[in-house]
Structure 1
Amino acid sequence: MTLPRDAGRRVLIIVRRLNMGGIQKASLSLASGLLAGGHEVHLLVLKGTPELTVPDGVHLHCVDFERAARRTPAGLARHLASRVLLKPLLPGSGFVWTGRTVSRGFRHHLAELEATHGAFDLIVIRGQGAFELLWDVRDPRCWQVVEGPVSGPGKSPLAGWLYRKLYAGKRVISVSEGIGAMLDATLARHGVAPAQRRTLTNPVPLGRIRELAQAPLPDAPPTPYLIHVGRLSSVKNQALLLRAFAAADLPLSLVIIGDGDRRQSLTRLCETLGIAERVHFLGQQTNPYPWVARAQAFVLSSRMEGLGLVLIEALALGTQCVATDVPGGIREVLTGEQARLIAEPSVEGLAEKLREAWTHPVTVDPAWAERFDEPRVAEAFLGLLDDARLEDPADDDPAHAPA
């Protein structure tokens, strides 16, 4: 059955929290893209108070099902039993007991939402934190979006059982083929098979980013500069970036936007490397795009990237990118001539590509970013509705399973 695209659809997007992060930004971009297409969008936040602004027109619901359950005597007893007995006896299983309670509360809430607004055509659960809380929900309209490498069970003797709770028989979306391949390999090792897996990239609001980039630059460094935007953390590996920047010995400054628990150690490393006067830590910025648009190159030194949203944003602003060749989606973003600035993930490998970006810069093709624009990706998500198997969760044809 093919559903007409001109009819407005009702979509529910679910996140664990709505704070500053890639999953959250991508969720809001998907909501915006769907709204622009004339669809009704609901956003359900499972924990905490939203820190990001939700687009006008999105129906926002914030419900902490776990906390609500603990307010009842039976719910509190189950919570204490899981923490005191089950979690220590079965390491790694904490989400199983929490998720069972949350899933029950979600099903009741979903019924209330649909009684008020009408049935949802598509339910998108974004990020492992969210589908750990909702692992016991088995609805053929649900798709779980995997944003990065699967974490959690690891080498636990219970790993197979835990992975089955999260993925067996579920419909799964990976944000890049690289992440999808990693997920496939992990699940195969434990004999776990999802019902379906698709790859759909994260959406990026290209028009909005270009508009924000026109803002005045408040603190421009005194020389041409390289730019890095990201959480200051081990996975983003800014230590490698600083060492490569020092080794490249270019007549440039380095601007780093973002904050995190590594800031002090990175500041000390700059002093050790003798580059403290050329490295500018600007902290978290609500609008980093004026700096990105005016940079000589955007540099990403991560150990892993699910997709690389910051690379897409830089390309949208016409800024060439240098990035480490690591697992995930980097090679799916940096294509064409841009691929020549993908670096071996070592000090000299990254330093060499920094020099190349300075002496032989890449001219950015706008088409490299356009394929990730909000409306295109939103349309791709609606394409999930064309799958007749959504009508019957048992009708999974192995001939259409991902390779």
Structure 2
Amino acid sequence: MKILFFVSSMNAGGAERVAASLANAWVQQGDEVCLVPTHLGTESSFYHLDERVQFQPLKDSLSWFPPFLTPVRKLRSIRQLHDRFEPDVVVSFLTNVNVNVLMALRGVSTPVIVCERTNPVVSRSADKRLQSLRTKLYPKATRVVVQTQDAAHAFAAAEPNLGDLAVIPNPIPPVLASLPLAAEVEKKTNCKLVAMGRLVPAKQFDQLIQVFGLLAEEFPEWTLHIHGEGPERENLQRRAELVGCKDKVFFPGRTEEPWRVLAEAQLFVLTSAYEGFPNVLLEAMTLGLPCVTVDCPSGPKEISNNGRDASLVLPDNEQALRRALSELMIDPRLRGVLGQRAAASVRERYGMAAILDHWDLVFRQAGLVNIKQEKT
């Protein structure tokens, strides 16, 4: 099968990593994939691509045009790439790319599958103009894909003309699935509680610091490490001082080795007000790290298996968060049991083979051949 795959860029982002993982998996199972980043500043991929993936930055198809004509030229180039590649199916990631692809490919018979990479109802990534275009154009897609059931229910209620939404979660990166589980060691000193994300209000790290401040005296061997960068750094550092934890709360910045950081921790926590699909939670659980997560929209409830594979707490409830952290900080055996259960569960549910099965079903529902029968 020939898959024409549009993404925004191929920089170091979550959607880009998923795009690379899927493109690699599809060519490895015998499909032909042309991966097209539409961002005009993209020349290469941050993530490794199989040599069989045809990498075609959209900028390479654009001749020089006055800046005010660039959007029109981009649409023409998307259509020209489609006509030249003659795909069986078009897959598109991210709202702005989806809108452009649907405009460019009006009238073609090729199935077009557009994928939201956030929860569209709670995300702030699309402005009013883009939201309006999404409302008009998404019903023209063959299928709309979101990452979680929470997002599907909310989006369907907000946009009733979309038809049946498909839910396909992110896969575990294959390289991560091949790593050994983090070994739980009963430590009396230097126990690390780790959080990761942009230092922005939506991650609610201020609440995390407040709760950790209440636990610090009871658990003097524990430190909190918040990895990431963003505009809230100074405010968060001041908050750590105010709760008396200046020497126990650390801000190491953005890490290029998140899996190593997670593997060296004893406990992971996610406190976001909302998520699209929290990859870092999935990755921590994959490594066998016990996790505490707020039940925010959307993703934690599903990834944690309704709280069976990670400790799931109510949003905006500092007492519940404190209690959940305390139960795991005090008990290394409980951490080990929860981490092992988490790893077994997510590796089965979110492994690449399981995610490709989801995609095969969507392709069949889009009117394509029965892929599994064709391969056998």
- TM interval, shorter chain, is 0.7 to 0.9
Residue number in structure 1 paired with 2:344: 367
How many angstroms apart in 2 are the aligned matches of 1:127 and 1:159? 11
Q: 1:259 to 1:195 in 2, by over 3 A?
A: same
- Name structure 1 gaps, 5 residues minimum: 1-8, 80-97, 215-220, 392-403
User: Does 1:279 pair with 2:279?
Assistant: no
Q: 1:287 to 1:209 in 2, by over 3 A?
A: farther
User: Does 1:43 pair with 2:35?
Assistant: yes
Report deviation, 1:23. Answer: 1.1
Whether the 8 Å CA contact 2:202–2:272 is kept in 1: the answer is yes
Q: Tell me the TM-score normalized by structure 2.
A: 0.81
Q: Tell me the TM-score normalized by structure 1.
A: 0.76
Report deviation, 1:278. Answer: 0.9
Secondary structure at 1:102 match in 2: helix
Residue number in structure 1 paired with 2:176: 208
Give the structure, 1 or 2, with the largest relative contact order (CA under 8 Å, sep 6 or more): 1
How many angstroms apart in 2 are the aligned matches of 1:223 and 1:153? 38
How many angstroms apart in 1 are the aligned matches of 2:237 and 2:159? 40
Residue number in structure 2 paired with 1:230: 197
Give the stretch that moved more between structures: 295-304 or 381-390.
381-390
Whether the 8 Å CA contact 1:206–1:313 is kept in 2: the answer is no
Residue number in structure 1 paired with 2:79: 107
Query: Pick from 278, 301, 318: which aligns with 1:331?
Result: 301
User: Does 1:342 pair with 2:319?
Assistant: no
- Name structure 2 gaps, 5 residues minimum: 183-187, 370-376
Report deviation, 1:199. Answer: 0.5
Residue number in structure 1 paired with 2:325: 354
User: Does 1:259 pair with 2:229?
Assistant: yes
How many angstroms apart in 2 are the aligned matches of 1:358 and 1:207? 29
Secondary structure at 1:381 match in 2: helix
Residue number in structure 2 paired with 1:384: 362
Letter in 2 for 1:352: R
Q: How does 1:136-147 map to 2 (within 5 A)?
A: 136=103, 137-138=105-106, 139=108, 140-147=110-117
The count of aligned residue pairs is 345
How many angstroms apart in 1 are the aligned matches of 2:148 and 2:157? 14
Report deviation, 1:155. Answer: 10
Residue number in structure 2 paired with 1:401: none
Whether the 8 Å CA contact 2:62–2:74 is kept in 1: the answer is no
Letter in 1 for 2:360: L
Report deviation, 1:223. Answer: 0.8
Residue deviations 1:175-200 (CA, integer Å, cap 9, x gap): 11111112112213xxxx12542111
Residue number in structure 2 paired with 1:23: 15
How many angstroms apart in 2 are the aligned matches of 1:311 and 1:103? 36
Residue number in structure 1 paired with 2:292: 322
Secondary structure at 1:337 match in 2: coil
Q: 1:185 to 1:344 in 2, by over 3 A?
A: same
Query: What RMSD over aligned residues (CA atoms) do the two structures have, in Å?
Result: 3.0
Letter in 1 for 2:3: V
Q: 1:333 to 1:167 in 2, by over 3 A?
A: same
